[in-house]
Structure 1
Amino acid sequence: MSSAPEGRFRSSPVPLLTPGGPSGGTDGSSRASLLTDDGVRIEALYEPRAMAGRTVAGSSFDGTAGDGVTDGHESVVDGHGGAAEGGCVTDGGGLTNGHGYGSGTAGVAVGTAIVIAHGFTGSLDRPAVRRAARVLGRHAAVVTFSFRGHGGSGGRSTVGDREVLDLAAAVRWARALGHRRVVTVGFSMGGSVVLRHGALYAAGREAGGTEVPAEVLGDPEARADAVVAVSAPARWYYRGTAPMRRLHWLVTRPTGRLVGRYGFGTRIDRDDWDPVPLSPVEAAGLIAPVPLLIVHGDRDPYFPLDHPRMLAGAAGDGAELWLEPGMGHAENAADESLLTRIGDWTTAACSMMGS
């Protein structure tokens, strides 16, 4: 897909209050329209950690937790946690919205946030994504968002290329809300994105594909402290299974893109990648020393087991590989038990790094 400037795309507007699905409320959740480094508006939802029937802004790994820090209002913030078009403003101590209520204070939400990156044709409001957020929310605060071209977000999908900028904006938002640790958890296409994001931002390098601005490469506010890739491909252009051949038709053919838009609610860019992005397997070898977990089902209809094994081989000792018996593909196949174990892994990974 294209890595051309966003100005070539026709964006869809993100309303201040995105209709439908979960919304901000008294539980401390908050919706926002994030602005990426290439100018795309991304819908996002923040949900404090759920504990014993209540929610808190996050948790440190010494067993303590902060108080709720959001008031349920939507904010409009840029990719660096700052104000955008009269929405959220910063005062040096965290975010406040236009009504003066605190929507995140640095030093209050001191624990971990998990940022969930959905698969192709998904969105933050899809049932499988909501299930993942609910289960992972028992371990940490959760940020969900819709990739460009998906759900209520603007732009068009580049199927894993410029989506790293969307993820970076969501990670920065989590840190602007005061979270000291941010773990990225990606499914399928989102899995490839968290791998590439982990390599590009942790290492501060530009390695083909996405034109990440030089000033934000290695940006500590955008980097992940741990990475989880579920059902991720190892290499691009894979057509070895019938579902992947159908996906390539959807992405590369005009009729397929119409089906994507009207059948799946996904707006897909029509241009080929130029240059080809850093592949997931190349990225996996660049993430260390950041902890990496690779999860894959042995009945995945899209990517056979050579994909996770290639990723783990490239990452070496820096990665842990889980091959799940009977599991299918991505967030739709991730049941509560697996999501709970992933949440436990994120807790352990961040504990090793300190609070």
Structure 2
Amino acid sequence: MSDEAECEFARSSAPGASGAAARGTEREHRGGGRPVGETLRETLRTADGVRIEAAYDPYAGPAVTGDDGTAVRGLPQGPCAIVVAHGFSGSLDRPALRRAARVFTQYGAVITFSFRGHGNSGGHSTVGDREVLDLAEAVSWARSLGHERVATVGFSMGGSVVVRHGALHRRDGREGYLGERPGSDAQHTEAHERRTGAHPGTAAQPLEDFPGDATQPYARTHSDAVVAVSAPARWYYRGTAPMRRVHWVIQRPVGRLVSRYGLRTRIHPHDWDPVPLSPVGAAPALAPTPLLVVHGDQDPYFPLDHPQSLAGAGHPASTDLWIVPGFGHAENAAGPGLLHRIGQWVDARWERAAGGPA
């Protein structure tokens, strides 16, 4: 896909993982030492029963950036991992996400995954609502591999997810935030029925109705640092032509057919009910977790009031805002220089958490 359009129909034919590449087996949220020196493929199962394809790339060593070959200190193998959440119509095998993963492995181990309804993952996209559970499972996988600190980096839709995940899955283990009840779909309705024997009808179920494995508390799914790149601050924004096209894709039957066969993205056919907490509504709950908001001044999807309001809602002591000159939108436009800057920001937060120099 082009740098300009995350959802550009004509350039959306990148293939998903081949059978040989997607060689992982379904995890039961257990065991396994940290792999060394090789990419690991897995199929995760979310708390509401959706299968998610995921990949783990180990820490690759210190980064080298700049024309002068200046070395950027890397991190020791083990304690730190970065979980990367792609934008709408992306997947873990898209070239842009692989590029981001290669850069980030110079700062820690990296987990990439395909959101529900994307790539070879199951289910249907809820465009930022239930995707919080996909991210939570990827974070929990990172911790099960021995990583003590986990940062989440999200692009566009993924940016909204990492912010909401940070509020819903807190370091103190509290489940849910401000009573949010993410909307339901057929799959997690079935999961509820299997678990409880009750039929919840069409009403949305609260997050705590989907606890997953009871031996894996929600405290293990929290993030220690959050980076939202090109993220919306609020829902239903239609102020730009690209976002009007995105809404056509999401809300119209013909648009969902285009998405399914052109973008390889399966979208849930029903509207949110209820509407999930917006990113700007979730941001105040992140502190003391550090939040970095990154946005381009050439973003064709969301104007600058989105990152400004999102960063403004975060706690001033733990929130940073970067407006990047010339940067477009999401992972497709993020070059190595910007990705290295994000990796360095995460690196600095690890140092600060460890009591070293900021």
TM-score bracket, shorter-length normalisation: 0.7 to 0.9
Q: Deviations over 1:23-79 (max 9, x none)?
A: 7898322100000000000000001011269xxxxxxxx97634xxxxxxxxxxxxx
1:25-40 to 2 correspondence within 5 Å? 27-40=37-50
Task: Tell me how far 1:216 sits from its aligned partner.
Answer: 4.6
Amino acid across the alignment from 1:337: G
Q: Deviations over 1:116-158 (max 9, x none)?
A: 0000000000000000000011100000000000000000000
Report what 2:100 is aligned to: 132
8 Å Cα contact 1:300/1:329 also seen in 2: yes
Report what 1:293 is aligned to: 292
Amino acid across the alignment from 1:174: A
TM-score scaled to structure 2, two decimals?
0.76
Q: Residue 216 and residue 26 in structure 1: after superposition, are their counterparts in 2 closer, same or farther (change >3 A)? A: closer
Unaligned runs of 5+ in 1: 1-16, 54-61, 67-108
1:208 aligns with 2:203: no
1-structure distance, mates of 2:94, 2:21: 9
8 Å Cα contact 1:18/1:152 also seen in 2: no
8 Å Cα contact 2:75/2:107 also seen in 1: no
1-structure distance, mates of 2:47, 2:277: 19
Q: Deviations over 1:288-325 (max 9, x none)?
A: 00000000000100000000000011103121000000
2-structure distance, mates of 1:229, 1:301: 17
8 Å Cα contact 1:22/1:125 also seen in 2: no
2-structure distance, mates of 1:231, 1:320: 14
8 Å Cα contact 2:74/2:107 also seen in 1: no
1-structure distance, mates of 2:320, 2:107: 20
2-structure distance, mates of 1:64, 1:257: 43
2-structure distance, mates of 1:253, 1:37: 29
Report what 1:354 is aligned to: 354
Amino acid across the alignment from 1:192: S
1:150-165 to 2 correspondence within 5 Å? 150-165=118-133
Report what 1:65 is aligned to: 76
Task: Tell me how far 1:219 sits from its aligned partner.
Answer: 1.9
8 Å Cα contact 1:143/1:170 also seen in 2: yes
- Seq. identity, %: 60
Task: Tell me how far 1:21 sits from its aligned partner.
Answer: 5.5
2-structure distance, mates of 1:268, 1:314: 30
Deviation larger for 333-342 or 200-209:
200-209
Task: Tell me how far 1:350 sits from its aligned partner.
Answer: 1.5
Task: Tell me how far 1:165 sits from its aligned partner.
Answer: 0.2
Report what 1:186 is aligned to: 154
2-structure distance, mates of 1:319, 1:128: 26
Task: Tell me how far 1:215 sits from its aligned partner.
Answer: 7.6
Please provide the CA RMSD for this pair: 2.3
1-structure distance, mates of 2:152, 2:85: 7
Please state whether the residue corresponding to 2:285 is helix, strand or coil. Answer: coil
| Aligned length in residues | 289
Report what 1:50 is aligned to: 60
Q: Deviations over 1:86-134 (max 9, x none)?
A: xxxxxxxxxxxxxxxxxxxxxxx3x200000000000000000000000
Report what 2:328 is aligned to: 328
Q: Deviations over 1:159-211 (max 9, x none)?
A: 00000000000000000000000000000000000000000111533432423
TM-score scaled to structure 1, two decimals?
0.77
8 Å Cα contact 2:85/2:135 also seen in 1: yes
8 Å Cα contact 2:175/2:207 also seen in 1: no
8 Å Cα contact 2:74/2:108 also seen in 1: no
